[in-house]
Structure 1
């Protein structure tokens, strides 16, 4: 019968597809057995010679689609031919609600074999078709579909709990509460144990000044960062509980956000500052303060692991070492990323700064002296204290101007220890490759592959690179008595911007070239001392090179250490640049 309705509607109004869809959905509601019986009834109806007596029943009839064209023929009474299947006769109604909340009848009439009818004389439904937002009901008395209604079912709240049930519930809640308290206590004990035993690189960040792990900037009281001390040695300043900002622009150098291995720090990535083969360097926000996040891909896990080891060494805190905050692992499998979180310095690296700025003599003294102090701290061994073990000797192995960062007051701090090697007392250095680093900063013995795998040999390689960085700094000084040339990398005039390893070997090893020292530089007494110092640092004979402690002592002895409270006299404004370096591995 429903099929007959579908055919009739399509024939009368082929565009009214909504009603057709509704009727087809109603047909699908019929169980398969009822559909077969209905089909048999149609067959009996179409066969007059079947011998069955025809019986008639009536239902209210309405067709919304017909009312659109003819108001007089859209409703009335439908007489249903039943044959002998009287028990299959049903009346149905289909309606919905308009947007104004009014009831809108769609279809009324006869339907066969709908076993979902729940009422004999009333057309009532308890549910709504969710896909079409329509209501459907059926009943089995003449014209019982004249009135129809929707009566949603009310869930039975069930029997009320008895006193015995309440007692059982209280007992269960009490048991669970006691167990929860026990679990929390055990977790706290375990947390405290792990906190005391965990490696230092997961400890909460102590407060400190200068943005590089302790010390107080700008001549403040406490551990001074003033270069006029003239001691020539670097010691690790004590931790400070105070958290403050650098001078200059209010850029934060320390952060209270700290964490443990059990959870990630509340770090929000803001902006990519640099990209390279090592991954990406992000400016991020942690606890409302700026931090730097260096993200290593899975392929560069070793560099991340080495930096984590170095920052986790005992007593590894110094005002001229980049301040470490934490390490994290994000993701799994091929999507894994390794994060290293450190303090953020908006001036960026020394190389980036010199590209955009010239430096005064006071700036040169400040940068050179603090850079040498940081390198001296790396190279020296500190004895064990009451609370910490001894600090071993560390060789950087990729020392260059890109790995020297400038703080707001133009003091330097050393970063990027992905190629560093740690010399534990009484232990061999382990399996390490000698020819690593950046090509143009490689010492002659590295280029020749003739390295003695002793700690002193690796420290002399760092000092060769230190001499080249001092040349970069001096070449942009306004006190040189002549026009300040554009910034150039070491050996850029000799071998260009992208030399091969053979080019560097020919220049440094065979021809024994070094960056040119202009004659007018030597007219300034301070520049003359600095020029002599860098020449002794890059001596072809590695054993004749100065140590980092000697460089600090020489700069102090010649009064090349103006007070940090002295204002910088740079000629140009600072441009924002990255805070850490490009990749640790061999680059041009």
Structure 2
């Protein structure tokens, strides 16, 4: 029988594990990863954290990506508020952490044997790690210096107090943590810190999932989408999609945090995002009309967001192609600058081009019947081909464009707001209602004759027809739509 490894070798295992993980990926305990048997895989580190929240200790275990690890924030503890540990061997975060007692004096603590063993046994590894951290720190400081920000002290622990006193806006925090391409969301610890300091102000919307509130964080408005506990799968799926690598885009709703809050009676599932006071495109078009320039600007921003979703970015920090599956005017928000941001990604599907697999959420909802493409209505869509999902999105996009164009004011004449197919189906149509109209009768929303008198509306009408074509293969791509509307935008700008 072999002798067990000595202290020095045991201390070196985390470093050796880190090297191995670069090739195989670490397996870690992950509390939120129910769909993968509460485990996750990463090239960075395993993470365990205990946080003091309302007098109670809350433990979180998850994976830390390599870019998050390089950011040198994630693994820092905050005295008497949080205690975190990052480690580098499989399931090494399956540990119990405790916050230090107030009476404990860290100054009297003796040297830890593991640290001494590592220092003696693997000095070369330690020097390499220090060098890597120094390079990352230097790059981070140069990047912040180019943006005009004072470089923070990397030794300063991360805590609620630090976030508040840093003077940074949410936009700054999000930009700091996503410029490396690590994803569209903040690290989990930062998300929890922000979510626990949001004060809810008023309900701004309701849906099948729950409620949307306007909240305040450090004087800034944020949107808080609160899911009921029975809809946990939808909450988890939407948070997962929003944190996809390289997803962040000006025409996709800015994700901030996902958190679950337990008040002792029931659990609230929060999804925190940027707040847009103009509300949804549906609300915006109901309230008033748009100019030709405004119509084109709205149309271009929606196409830009959808093109970014549909596009695959190849590379180590690449982005999978994503299809929305529930594109409609109520799931598109209007920003202060009169452009749009696509929201509600809970039904989205991702495509793995390497394995040629489609990540379809196990969710009973299949989208909104009024906006469903004919191949979905008559059940002829090939769900094994990812292009099918993108083509269904384009059909929905054509209907959204029709809604926008109807509200365009030409020569003082405009039409009242209506939903697509308002004149041929009930207010809450069934699948059979829509199938009969769209597939059997092959009807589409009416394009008024007066649109022919305006170049922009004429082009928009042509784009709509190509988007809602009965054959998915004959429809335009999101990138083609974006280019066409972009040219239209340039023409309108030149007239101004």
The TM-score with structure 2 as length reference comes to: 0.62
Q: Could you tell me whether the CA contact under 8 Å between 2:349 and 2:359 is conserved in 1? A: no
SS in 2 for 1:338: strand
Q: 2:471 aligns with which of 530, 535, 541?
A: 541
Corresponding residue for residue 330 of structure 2: 402
> In the alignment, does 2:358 pair up with 1:429?
yes
Corresponding residue for residue 346 of structure 1: 277
Corresponding residue for residue 348 of structure 2: 420
Q: Which runs of 5+ in 2 are unaligned?
A: 1-102, 116-132, 138-162
> In the alignment, does 2:212 pair up with 1:281?
yes
Corresponding residue for residue 108 of structure 1: none
Q: CA RMSD in A?
A: 3.7
- Once the two structures are TM-superposed, the CA of residue 175 in structure 1 deviates from its matched residue by 7.2
In 2: Cα distance, 1:208 partner to 1:283 partner: 15
Q: 2:255 aligns with which of 321, 324, 337?
A: 324
- Once the two structures are TM-superposed, the CA of residue 383 in structure 1 deviates from its matched residue by 2.1
Residue deviations 1:36-77 (CA, integer Å, cap 9, x gap): xxxxxxxxxxxxxxxxxxxxxxxxxxxxxxxxxxxxxxxxxx
Q: 1:270 aligns with which of 201, 205, 209?
A: 201
Corresponding residue for residue 232 of structure 2: 301
Corresponding residue for residue 459 of structure 2: 529
Q: Could you tell me whether the CA contact under 8 Å between 2:194 and 2:217 is conserved in 1? A: no
SS in 2 for 1:398: coil
Residue deviations 1:217-243 (CA, integer Å, cap 9, x gap): xxxxxxxxxxxxxxxxxxxx9589xxx
SS in 2 for 1:283: strand
Q: Which runs of 5+ in 1 are unaligned?
A: 1-172, 186-192, 197-203, 215-236, 241-253, 567-588
SS in 2 for 1:493: coil
- Once the two structures are TM-superposed, the CA of residue 496 in structure 1 deviates from its matched residue by 3.1
SS in 1 for 2:215: strand
> In the alignment, does 2:382 pair up with 1:452?
yes
Q: Could you tell me whether the CA contact under 8 Å between 2:347 and 2:361 is conserved in 1? A: no
298-307 vs 512-521, which moves further = 298-307
In 2: Cα distance, 1:180 partner to 1:330 partner: 38
- Once the two structures are TM-superposed, the CA of residue 276 in structure 1 deviates from its matched residue by 2.3
In 2: Cα distance, 1:494 partner to 1:511 partner: 11
- Once the two structures are TM-superposed, the CA of residue 556 in structure 1 deviates from its matched residue by 2.3
496-505 vs 443-452, which moves further = 496-505
Corresponding residue for residue 99 of structure 1: none
Q: 1:473 aligns with which of 397, 404, 421?
A: 404
Residue deviations 1:299-327 (CA, integer Å, cap 9, x gap): 11111111111111111111111111101
Residue deviations 1:381-412 (CA, integer Å, cap 9, x gap): 1122xxx6210000000000111111111011
Matches within 5 A, 1:4-15: none
In 2: Cα distance, 1:334 partner to 1:447 partner: 41
In 2: Cα distance, 1:179 partner to 1:512 partner: 78
- Once the two structures are TM-superposed, the CA of residue 523 in structure 1 deviates from its matched residue by 1.0
Aligned in 2, Cα 1:263/1:527: closer, same or farther, shift over 3 Å?
A: closer
Q: Could you tell me whether the CA contact under 8 Å between 1:265 and 1:286 is conserved in 2? A: no
Q: Could you tell me whether the CA contact under 8 Å between 2:278 and 2:335 is conserved in 1? A: yes
Q: 2:312 aligns with which of 381, 396, 412?
A: 381
In 2: Cα distance, 1:409 partner to 1:393 partner: 27
> In the alignment, does 2:431 pair up with 1:501?
yes
Q: Could you tell me whether the CA contact under 8 Å between 1:268 and 1:285 is conserved in 2? A: yes
Aligned in 2, Cα 1:561/1:392: closer, same or farther, shift over 3 Å?
A: farther
SS in 2 for 1:364: helix
What count of residue pairs does the alignment treat as equivalent? Answer: 338
In 1: Cα distance, 2:358 partner to 2:190 partner: 31
Corresponding residue for residue 488 of structure 1: 418
Q: Could you tell me whether the CA contact under 8 Å between 1:319 and 1:413 is conserved in 2? A: yes
Q: 2:446 aligns with which of 516, 530, 533?
A: 516
Aligned in 2, Cα 1:239/1:531: closer, same or farther, shift over 3 Å?
A: farther
Matches within 5 A, 1:64-79: none
SS in 2 for 1:495: coil
SS in 1 for 2:109: helix
In 1: Cα distance, 2:111 partner to 2:338 partner: 53
Residue deviations 1:11-55 (CA, integer Å, cap 9, x gap): xxxxxxxxxxxxxxxxxxxxxxxxxxxxxxxxxxxxxxxxxxxxx
Residue deviations 1:156-204 (CA, integer Å, cap 9, x gap): xxxxxxxxxxxxxxxxx8977523998xx9xxxxxxx9xx9xxxxxxx9
In 1: Cα distance, 2:390 partner to 2:276 partner: 27
> In the alignment, does 2:288 pair up with 1:357?
yes
- Once the two structures are TM-superposed, the CA of residue 497 in structure 1 deviates from its matched residue by 1.6
In 2: Cα distance, 1:238 partner to 1:526 partner: 37
Residue deviations 1:251-309 (CA, integer Å, cap 9, x gap): xxx99x98145784410000011122211100000111000000001111111111111
In 2: Cα distance, 1:175 partner to 1:347 partner: 52
Corresponding residue for residue 178 of structure 1: 108
SS in 1 for 2:423: helix
Corresponding residue for residue 440 of structure 1: 370
In 1: Cα distance, 2:438 partner to 2:110 partner: 69
Corresponding residue for residue 8 of structure 2: none
Matches within 5 A, 1:142-161: none
The TM-score with structure 1 as length reference comes to: 0.52
SS in 2 for 1:405: strand
Of the two structures, which has the highest relative contact order with CA contacts closer than 8 Å and spacing of 6 or more? 1
Aligned in 2, Cα 1:291/1:178: closer, same or farther, shift over 3 Å?
A: same
Aligned in 2, Cα 1:319/1:263: closer, same or farther, shift over 3 Å?
A: closer
Q: Could you tell me whether the CA contact under 8 Å between 1:397 and 1:461 is conserved in 2? A: yes
SS in 1 for 2:257: strand
State which structure, 1 or 2, has the greater radius of gyration over its C-alpha atoms: 1
**Of Structure 1 and Structure 2, which has the larger fraction of its residues in helix?**
2
